[in-house]
Each structure stands twice: as C-alpha cells, then as structure tokens.
Structure 1
Amino acid sequence: MTQQQLAEKVGIKFQQIQKYETGMNRISASRLWDIAEALAVPVAYFFEGMTGAEDEAQIAEASHGLPGDILADKEALELVRSYYAIPENQRRRLFELARVLSDAAA
C-alpha cells in the first residue's frame, strides 16, 4: 500500500503519513488505531518485539486510571465498535467533540 492510499483510507494527507513515518510528528493513539484498521492489523502489531510493554501498561493504568488493555473491558470494546459503525464524516465530528469534552473535564 502506498502512502497516498493509506492516507486516503485514514482521511488525511499523504504528507502527514510521511511525517509519521520519519518521526517528525508523533502519532496519537486514535490515529494509530485508524492506521491499524486501514492496514487490517491489530494495534499491537506496531509494538511487536518491544520489551517492557507490560510495565508501560501498568504505568498508563496508574497515571490515567485506565486499564492497561482497555479493549479487554466489555464496555470500552462496545463503545469502539459502535464508534466505527458511524459514517466517517460523523465519526470525525464525534471524535472532535469527545476531545473537547475531555479537555474541558481535565
């Protein structure tokens, strides 16, 4: 798959894909999820071979109050499935709304 094809599937410009690939820009968890979906691979694919992943999951849980494997939670998994059932343009708007609400709650 070309950068252009991936960018189209994810809904961004191919230049952004290049910036992710080179490490110029950091990739958000939600964008990583989108890319994994576009490539038909689990998100864990991008972390294969990393050591200390269990420690990082425990740190994330302690600092954010979220389980290390959030998709093991039935409610979270149902929410993600429902989210991806929404048409893409509406899903992006919902995502932005959720981001604004979470920033306001912090």
Structure 2
Amino acid sequence: MNELSQHHKPLSPSLITARGDGINPIDYHVGQRVKKRRTEVGLTQGALGDKIGITFQQIQKYERGANRICASRLYLLAHTLDVAITYFFDELPDTIANSQQLDDIDTVGLKASYDDIHRRHHLEINRVFSQMNDPEVRRRFIDLGRAITGDLVTQDTPTEG
C-alpha cells in the first residue's frame, strides 16, 4: 500500500464528476486556492494567464471552478505561483475530503461560504492597510500577518516551493 492510499480513501465516481450545477466542489476549492495565491503574489488574472500561456478568461473559469485544471496546467500554476502542487488541496473542507457522495455536498452553500468569508476579510484588511500612511507601519503589519500564519519569509529571504 503506498503512502497516498494509506491516508485517503478512494473517491466514489460521483465525486469525480460534476453535479447538476456544473461545479465540482474539489475543482471549486482548487480554483479558490489559485485565486488566493495569485492575489497574495500580486498578479492579475491576465498576468497569470500570460505567464502560463492562457487567457485571463480561462483563469477566471479555473478560479470559479467552472473548468477543471488538468495536471500539466496545475504543475505550471504551482511553479509560476511558487507553491507545491499540494498547496491547491490544502484546507480542503472536511465535508469534501470525507464525503463519498457528491450529492452529500452543498456546493451552493460551500461557494457562498468561501465568497463571503474571503470578501469580508479582504475588504477589512484592505481598508485597514490603506489607512496606514507610514511605509514602516505597513511593513510591520505585513510582518505581523506573516508571523501569525507562520510564514516568516521576508523580502530578502528566498521562498521555497
């Protein structure tokens, strides 16, 4: 038994195909992780698309989960965004990770949950950050966020993928 099969149960066929609303919850999660990382590194959808040879519209579809990302494209995204491929599956909600039936997953509620949380957090962080006029205060704010998340990488330190 390999390491992967020791930690993960096999997916049922219904988890691999899209549901009636056309969005697979795993594809949606991966797309949200692409969007999160793209935003963190400061790339627009167009800039990311240019770097991997696709249109910004295709990046939009990936981020919404409307289109599934193939393995070679996921590899390019990971390389371009300087993360391990596993990053895109990190924080996969238990409702998805432990489900054996796609019909058990409320994809509409899942999407609304991601959207609401990210929107509120981004707006609040941006509001606070934009009120900071001192560049040193801004740098310390970023350092604080990195320290809280365990990301102690600074501008002078190369990042690991």
The TM-score with structure 2 as length reference comes to: 0.31
The TM-score with structure 1 as length reference comes to: 0.46
Question: Which of the two has higher C-alpha Rg?
Answer: 2
Q: Greater RCO between the two (CA within 8 Å, min separation 6)?
A: 2
